[in-house]
Amino acid sequence: MKTADLYLRVSTDEQAEKGYSLRSQKESLEKYCSLNDIRIREVFVEDYSAKTFKRPMWQSYLVYLKRNKSKSVLLLFTKWDRFSRNASDAYQMISKLKKQNIDPQAIEQPLDLSVPENKMMLAIYLTAPEVENDRRGLNTKVGIRQAKKEGRYTGKAPLGYVNRSYSDGRKYITTKEPDASVIKWVFEEYSTGNHSGEHLLKIVNEKGLKCSKNNFYHLLRNPIYMGKIIVPKFHDEPERLVDGLHKGIISEEIFTSVQSILNTKKKDVPKVTICNPDDLPLRGFINCPKCTRTLTGSASKGKSRYYLFYHCKSSCGVRYRAEEINDWFKDLLTSYIPRNADELKTEILDAFHSKTVILKKSRNEFISKIEDFNQKIEVAREMMLDDEIAPAEYRKIKELANNEIKLLESDLFRIEETPKINIKPIVEKAFKLFSEIDKLYEKSNLEQKKLIIQSIFPQKIDYKSEIGRTQKSNFLASTIYLKNSELRAKKKGQNHSKMSLSHTGWLMGLEPTTLGTTNQYSNQLSYSHRIF
């Protein structure tokens, strides 16, 4: 017995909800399968355009085929226009389906595609609906253009107007109060040249006419407000204005005056640079201690010169001298220079080795358990074939085992394979960079300084007046900082337990990346191994 998937499609939600197309298609397909002794496997119902195959249900069907591979399955639909209305896309999709042993067929336009001559008929069936679509689209464009030539506005009414319909169904637009009066006032005031657009926009919003800045300037350029309609360029016909059937809000003289002001208004006025961005490298990297924002930077004019500050844009009032924070950050970098590099390198390498051993052991345990459950399924299958257990009991055993296998595979997926990499040279290069991080930062340009900051402090920097709180740096920087702190504590005679590297620290990876300014510092180091 042959097996088939049924595909039903309509073009719009309205047809799907109120029409009879879907029911008619389903009835025809089911009757065809019954007469030809075809078993129906799945039914897929689509209410989407066939111009492309980017349809929700069709994409679901392709996923379904990947998960349910079969020797040979029919894909049945009523006509080829239900399958596609784009000939080139249809040929590609047919070829794709053939590779998955899926044979698409239209029951009302049957074709044996193994016969070469039938491909000519297929081209006709596929091209006809595409031509129909193109013709309908062209007729729509021509109709809209003709309506504009006659002075009719098509589409949603602009601000100050509202859509209306005559008794015979013809559409038109008419003025809407009080919006129309407000817009008239805007044009009249702007035409005097005494007001900026931003000032008028603020007043307009206060009067209740909600309009964005972009839409406001588009409004000032729109000739519809003087009773004209734009007929766009089409082939050899140039763009032109025609008299609209609607009533204009302003006169043509006022509109022309506004356009003259807009065209002569100075744009892109060069700004005088009052501060060098290189002097504010930490802008956007420092957390505000009073709110959730990050501090920006700018210059403030004093009596004789400009002073640079890092400050918050909110009303919290946080403000610091730029020189103060810049010097503090340079001192902070020196705390990340390794003071006992050899010992720390050994601890990092040992921690990595321990983690890889744990990873490998964990993976092997999961793989072993999965193999055990597969073996249980195989044993149960043999018992069923030998009539030692009932089929229902076998299915239950298989279902339970498959559920366990899925959970184990999910856990196994979260554990990456043991990295086959020698990290010793990577660690050596990273420590070399960190041993000169302060000098490297000083020599770098603005972009390179930002890369250094981002690499060491991926979660921004905390700064509070005279107290620099412990920073949330990347794994290697954090490890060096803690080790240096331990050494300082021992010098002062304090008792501290010996630090051991946390294996979960490898979640954060081993960076910095791209810290170079010259060839001497151009090594790019990046190693990241994640544990879930």
Contact between residue 104 and residue 73 where contact means Cβ atoms under 8 Å apart: no
Distances (CA, A) of 349 to 402, 451, 480: 39, 26, 14
Domain 161-264: assigned CATH number: 3.90.1750.20
Which residues, 6 or more positions from 323, have their beta carbon under 8 angstroms from its beta carbon? 308
Taking the C-alpha atoms of residue 43 and residue 46, their distance in angstroms, rounded to an integer, is 10
In this predicted structure, the answer to whether residue 512 has a pLDDT above a threshold of 60 is no
- Mean pLDDT is lowest, of 97-111, 161-175, 503-517, for 503-517
Residue range 20-43, pLDDT digits in tens? 588 888 999 999 999 999 999 999
Report the length, in residues, of the chain. Answer: 532
Mean pLDDT of 323-333: 87
In this predicted structure, the answer to whether residue 155 has a pLDDT above a threshold of 90 is no
Give long-range contacts, CB 8 A cutoff, 24+ apart: 294-300.
294/460, 295/320, 297/322, 299/274, 299/275
Find where tokens 């300037």 sit: 217
The distance between the two most distant Cα atoms of the chain, rounded to a whole number of Å, is: 100
Tokens encoding 191: 């035409």
Query: How do strand 73-77 and strand 102-106 relate by DSSP bridges?
Result: parallel
Residue range 263-305, pLDDT digits in tens? 886 444 444 455 667 888 888 888 888 888 888 888 887 777 7
Q: How confident is the model at residue 491 (pLDDT cuts 50, 70, 90)?
A: low
Q: Which CATH superfamily is domain 2-135 in?
A: Resolvase, N-terminal catalytic domain (3.40.50.1390)
Whether omega before 178 lies within 30 degrees of 0, making that bond cis, reads: yes
Contact between residue 503 and residue 355 where contact means Cβ atoms under 8 Å apart: yes
Percent of residues, the chain, with pLDDT higher than 90 = 9
Task: Return the pLDDT at 130.
Answer: 75
Task: Return the pLDDT at 507.
Answer: 38
Picking from 79, 4, 82, the residue whose alpha carbon sits closest to that of residue 45 is 82
Taking the C-alpha atoms of residue 529 and residue 427, their distance in angstroms, rounded to an integer, is 14
Distances (CA, A) of 54 to 14, 46, 59, 86, 92: 20, 11, 7, 12, 13
Residue type, 425: P
Q: How confident is the model at residue 240 (pLDDT cuts 50, 70, 90)?
A: confident
Cα Rg of the chain, angstroms: 36
Cα three-residue angle 226-228-232, rounded to 5 degrees: 140
Tokens encoding 320: 């610091």
Taking the C-alpha atoms of residue 126 and residue 145, their distance in angstroms, rounded to an integer, is 29
Which residues, 6 or more positions from 101, have their beta carbon under 8 angstroms from its beta carbon? 69, 70, 71, 72, 73
Residue range 244-263, pLDDT digits in tens? 888 888 898 888 888 888 88
For the chain, what are the domain ranges? Answer: 2-135, 161-264, 277-332, 358-413, 424-521
Tokens encoding 155: 């589409």
Picking from 152, 180, 335, the residue whose alpha carbon sits closest to that of residue 244 is 152
What angle, 0 to 180 degrees and rounded to 10, lies between the N-to-C axes of helices 118-149 and 87-99?
140
Residue range 40-99, pLDDT digits in tens? 999 999 888 888 888 889 999 999 988 888 788 999 999 888 888 888 888 889 889 988
Alpha carbon dihedral 460, 461, 465, 469, in 10-degree steps, equals: 130
Query: How do strand 102-106 and strand 161-165 relate by DSSP bridges?
Result: unpaired
Taking the CB of residue 473, how many other CB atoms lie within 10 A of it? 20
Taking the C-alpha atoms of residue 94 and residue 139, their distance in angstroms, rounded to an integer, is 30
Contact between residue 190 and residue 197 where contact means Cβ atoms under 8 Å apart: yes
Choose between 221 and 264: higher pLDDT: 221
